[in-house]
Each structure stands twice: as C-alpha cells, then as structure tokens.
Amino acid sequence: MSVQSGKGLAVIFDMDGVLVNSYAPHFASWRHTAQERGLDMTEAQFESHFGRTSREIIRDVWGPSFTDAELAAWDRDKEAVYREILLEDFPAMPGACDLLIALHEAGFQLAIGSSGPPENVACVREKLPCANLFEACVSGTDVKHGKPHPDVFLTAAKRLGLLPRLCAVIEDSMAGLQAARRAKMTPIAITGTTPREQLETRSVLTVDSLTELSPPIVAKLIQDRKK
C-alpha cells in the first residue's frame, strides 16, 4: 500500500480540543455550575482532568459525597451551559475541515471518538462544516468506561469495520492518548490543552495545529507502527 493512500485506514478524532477549540467554553461551564453549588474549580484542576467524562471529574475533584441523582443533574447542567456557549460562537479548530476533506479524498474512513455526551457530539456535527464526512461517532454514553480506557476508540473502529491497528487517533489529552495506546492504535497529539513535553511521552507525533497533518503523514505513521 502506498503511504500516499488512506484506503483501508481510519482516523478517529477526539472532539474537544481537536475539532473544537472548547477549552474556554468547558472551563466557563464548569466554573458556572460549580459556583451555583457553592464550589469552585481552578484552572489547574480543569487542565488535569481535561478529556475525561463530567461525572468522573465531579467525583475526582469534589469527592464521592454526591448522590447519583445529584451527579446526573450536575452533569446535565454543566453540559447544557457548555452547549449554550458553543452555539453562540462556534470555535472550530484551524484546519479541521481542510484535513477532514483531504483525508476523505485520500480514502481514509473518519470517526469521532468523544467522552462527551451525545448532545455535544450532535452540536458539533451541526455546527462544523463537512461533519457529514464522519462515518461513525461515539460518545461517552456509548461505552461503559471513558478515557483513559480504550472503549471509545475500540467502539469507533468496530463501527467502521476496521482493526484497531489500522486506525490513528488525534487527541489533545493524556487520557485520550493513553486510551489510543491501550486500543493499539497510532496516537497523534495536538497541543493546546496539555504541555507538549507531556504529550510527546504518549504520542508518535505531536503537532501544534491540524494544518501540520496530511494524508501521507498519517498513513506513514500508521504503516510504521504496524511494522
């Protein structure tokens, strides 16, 4: 197979911080809903948990004192506020659509693998131009375990009908990169929410922008990792 071709290969995109510049909207929605409950979230706490499910973050940051009903309510409130912010001014990541189109034209299959709720994925698919190119989408409710467990990415590969070793994952969080590695996929990192030096310990390539990626680069990374 030519490294120029993506035929028989796939790229699974994390959503937050990869397709959507969602750092500020997520942080704002966390602080807003925490303050409604007499609590606060620091930026350091937010950064250290980026990429995980909302319920896991609540448990880790504020402990196990919340009932299941309180946990579910906070989760719903937080994500609703996030979507309101997102819909007001959708912040697509630079180069996202150009890369998606290029990968699709090269023969790659494309999927979203997110820990977020399905409503968030639907919001992004509505607002992101060329989101129709995704053949599969996996959200946090589709799997039992969120990242760093590999379930999200393994489910995406299964829906695409491909073996995990034929898939690359583009991620911005340590939890997501760990999930990609556990899934036996090719982990590619993009900076923005996590320091480069941390990302480089878990990725085969770290870039500062999606504009640095192309079908030949991604295909070669997958082929090299298969050897």
Q: Give the pTM.
A: 0.85
Residues of the chain with pLDDT under 70: 1-4, 51, 226-227
Q: Within a domain: residue 41?
A: yes
User: Where is the domain boundary, 88, 103, 118?
Assistant: 88
User: Where is the domain boundary, 47, 67, 88?
Assistant: 88
Same domain, 78 and 107: no
User: Containing domain of residue 157, as a range?
Assistant: 10-21+91-226
User: Where is the domain boundary, 32, 56, 88?
Assistant: 88
Q: Within a domain: residue 120?
A: yes
Which pLDDT score is estimated for 208? 97
Same domain, 43 and 148: no
Which pLDDT score is estimated for 2? 44
Same domain, 74 and 111: no
Same domain, 140 and 210: yes
Length of the chain: 227
Which pLDDT score is estimated for 28? 94
State pLDDT tens for residues 187-196.
999 999 889 9
Which pLDDT score is estimated for 4? 59
The domain total for the chain is 2
Helix-helix angle 68-88:118-127, to 10 degrees: 10
**Contact indicator for 41, 31 with CB cutoff of 8 Å:** yes
Cα angle 196, 176, 120; round to 5 = 115
